[in-house]
Amino acid sequence: MSLPDNVREELRQKLWKEAEHIGWFSLSPTVKSKQYEVWTRDPNIGGVISRYISVGDVRVYLKDTLLKDFAQHRLADDAMPYRVLGIPVKTDVVKTYVKPHGRRLRDGRIICWAERARGRPHC
């Protein structure tokens, strides 16, 4: 059984906000692992999830379902690359790329960015 859409989305938003707040991208794998355990034991996160799936699967669900797209979503934001390259935000985009993230602009330029060590965007 899976979580109802509204419950899953509410938890995803809560976790993404918290991950942003604690600097998820700068945390070591060990610290991230400890944070997964904190969330798993939290009655408002892991407790809610365990109503729908087995307690043993909560941590995996947190990692593989709720936080899986956090990094991709964050890196998809083109504000920082545009700012670094001096490209106006309202520039016409012809095509969007995901791995690595990028944009082909109407004027023919292609810009791309990817994740570097510790999850920080790199232009």
Q: Is the domain of 30 the same as that of 58?
A: yes
Q: Is the domain of 64 the same as that of 79?
A: no
Number of structural domains in the chain: 2
96-108 per-position pLDDT tens digit? 887 788 899 999 9
Q: Is the domain of 117 the same as that of 85?
A: yes
At residue 114, does pLDDT exceed 50?
yes
Range of the domain at 49: 5-68
Q: Is the domain of 12 the same as that of 62?
A: yes
Kind and range of the H or E element at 104?
strand 101-105
Residue 116 pLDDT: 57
For residue 100, whether the previous peptide bond is cis, meaning omega lies within 30 degrees of 0, is yes
Residue 101 pLDDT: 83
35-91 per-position pLDDT tens digit? 999 999 999 999 999 999 999 999 999 999 899 888 777 777 788 888 889 999 889
Q: Is the domain of 18 the same as that of 52?
A: yes
Q: Is the domain of 34 the same as that of 89?
A: no
At residue 117, does pLDDT exceed 50?
no
Identify whether the C-beta of residue 14 lies closer than 8 Å to the C-beta of residue 3.
Answer: no
Q: Is the domain of 51 the same as that of 98?
A: no
